[in-house]
Structures are given as C-alpha cells and as structure tokens.
Amino acid sequence: MNNKKLQLNKIYNINFQDAFNKFDISDIKMFITDPPYNIKYNYDEYNDDLSDDDYINLIANFQQLPIAIIHYPEETMKYIVPALGIPDEVVIWCYNSNIGRQSRLINFYDCEVNFGAVKQPYKNPTDKRIQERIKNGSMGGRSYDWFSDIQIVKNVSLEKMGHPCPVPIKLMERIILLTTKENDIVCDPFMGSGTTALACLKTNRKYIGLKG
C-alpha cells in the first residue's frame, strides 16, 4: 500500500484514478462531487460524451467509498445505480430554472447522513408544542430529504466563476454538514470551479481537490 499522502487544502491537476493509485486515500472521510453528467454537453475542450459502459466504469471506481454524488434523476438510474448499486440515502434538490429539468438527486453511499446536523425552520411556529421547543433553545427540526431553499447558480451570479454549471456553495456546505465533522478531510474527485473547497473552508473541514 502506498503511504504517500495528498497534501491538504490543495487542488491537484491530476486524474482521480491516478491519484488513487499513487496516494494513500484512507484518511479521506468523505467524497463529495458533482461529476460530469455524460449528457453530451460540450464546453471548450471537454466533451461530456463517454459510452454508457465507459461512464459506468468510471463511476464504479467509487465502490465501497463514502461518497455523495449529485446527478440528474434519469442519469442516476442509467449510470449511478449500475455503477454503485442502490443508494443508502437519497435527497432531492429542487430549484427554479428556465430549463425543463428542475431537480437533481444527491445519492449517498457507504456513509452516515446525520439529518439532525442541519436544522430546518419549523413550519408551524404558532403550535404550542413548537413554541415550547423554541423557548427551550431549539433552532428548528431535522433537515428534510429534499432541498427547495437552494437555487442553482444563475449566469449573472458571482458564483459562476467561468464554469458552465457550478453547483451552489450552500449546497456543498449542507452535504458536508450532513456527512462530516469539523476537521474531517473531504475530497472532490471532479473538482471544477472550486465550490467544494470553498464550502470546506466555510465549514472548518480540510479539502483535497482533483481535476485532471
């Protein structure tokens, strides 16, 4: 086994498969990623058009690793489930958009999802029982298994950062809070604009980014 570690809080211009072969990744608590979707989207020199088998084999590299992977519902059934099996937990991310697709799935594998780590505002704050909880210091109920309060990054947003389809920092923050603790190491094997890295810094986690 290779004992060489990847440096923390650094983004590497290296393919994740090469990184897995060259470095010891056993200290990584959680892999969180928004991978290329394989929906034939062309951007600069990148062609998002692998064969079905090649894409499934690519994702299969994460078998038995703790991972949260974001993908469209149809492609989850077509690619992610054949590659990794049935998710342990699934969260639906819903958002307003001018395009037809207005949701993505966040699929969790081989990890504990602590829905109590993120509080949602109570829906009925005038209820006497809820008022008593608030009086005793409760900040809200456990997180739901769907997120409708986080919108996609618009073209005019400062989060766009030159990337064609970045996910919101707030979304990555929430996934990190649900699955890790402070100072845990989080790796994004398909690091794009650096959203996961920024989310880690804001939540006091360590990050490793791979973008080869």
The span from the CA of 192 to the CA of 166, in Å, is: 7
The tokens for 105 are 């799935």
Residue 110 predicted with pLDDT over 70: yes
Residue 84 predicted with pLDDT over 60: yes
Lookup result for tokens 């608590």: 29
For residue 201, give the 3-state DSSP assignment. Answer: helix
* Domains observed in the chain: 10-116+145-210 (3.40.50.150)
pLDDT tier for residue 165 given thresholds of 50, 70 and 90: low
The span from the CA of 164 to the CA of 158, in Å, is: 13
CB 99 within 8 A of CB 72: no
If you average pLDDT over every residue of the chain, what do you get? 88
Residue 120 predicted with pLDDT over 90: no
State the burial class of residue 96 (Cβ atoms within 10 Å of its Cβ: 0-12, 13-18, 19+): exposed
CB-CB neighbours of 59 under 10 Å: 20
Query: pLDDT over 90 for what percent of the chain?
Result: 63
